[in-house]
Structure 1
Amino acid sequence: MASQSHAPLKYLQAYPTALQDQVRQLIAQDKLGDYLQQRYPDRHQVQSDKALYAYALALKQEHLRNVSGIDKVLFDNRLDLTHRALGLHSKVSRVQGGKLKAKNEIRVASLFKDAPPEFLRMIVVHELAHFRESDHNKAFYKLCEHMQPGYHQIEFDLRIYLTWRDLSASGKAITE
């Protein structure tokens, strides 16, 4: 097992070492949960697929009116394990009569049922942004930031939240 000070933080590997070291220090002091609780004390009330659909549709209407409609939005309890993703957007093509119809779907990992509202919004915003920008490029992140100011900080804190969840579930030191 890697020592705590050099243990890999699988959700934060793309971030600078100094930032990772700050997170490791919070872990060593057992203050990671306190940090998250202080920054994100609330839990959202979106608990059903129907409510999630209405939530995503409202965000789409507010920010992406000219993007084609959303046909399905749901919480998926297999998502984080199956696809190693927290949310998925897809255009599912189906034959209806003699025509091919594409339907836009968003799936959100079920772990977000108990998350702060900022994290749920960040995931939905991320997936909605893919309806306009397919790649994770400058335009994509600019759109995410437009739909949710502070997007990058919330994404970072979400990664801290995932780290904290893993540590809480395992009750162990950080492992990859």
Structure 2
Amino acid sequence: MADRLRADARRNHALILAVAEDEVARRGAEASLEQIARTAGVGSATVRRHFPTRHALLEAVSGKRIAALCARAADLAAHDDSRAALMEWLSEVVTYCVTARGLAVALAYRESDPLGDNTCAATLAQAGTPLLERAVADGGVAGGVSVLDLIALAVGVTLATEHGPDPLPRAHRLFEIAMAGVGGPAPV
């Protein structure tokens, strides 16, 4: 009986996550947990047992996107121009945040979430840190900037532009303006 319950729980988790991915794609971070439960054919308590908070659900929904961004950071690590590699990766983070509804909210920190509790942002920070460290060492980015600072900028720009017309170009433009301020001295 215990094995059957575990198998049922695994199936429920996968079903809830699949439904949540569709719902978040349509409605963004404010997707209804009750609607997700109804569509999945489970009770809202089952959804909350698997994902105790909306943030936990958004992190789970964003997992594949975060993994793709982490892989991209690793690919760009060999790029000759370290600042260009970092900027290309951050541009892709902004694109994902704008086009993948709910991702910016999953990356955003709130007062109620200690820094270590945001696994999406922590995972991205870990992946992007080598890009930033190399850009700082090469003089392409000023010291004293962290990847979490840059992710916060990407999230802020995304949240500021998401409800306007054509948010992607606007988000990229604002992010480029912000990034001009973190440039270091020109490489020699």
**TM-score normalised according to structure 1 size:** 0.27
> Which structure has the highest strand share of the two?
1
Looking at CA atoms only, which structure, 1 or 2, has the larger radius of gyration? 2
Greater relative CO (CA pairs within 8 A, separation 6+): 1
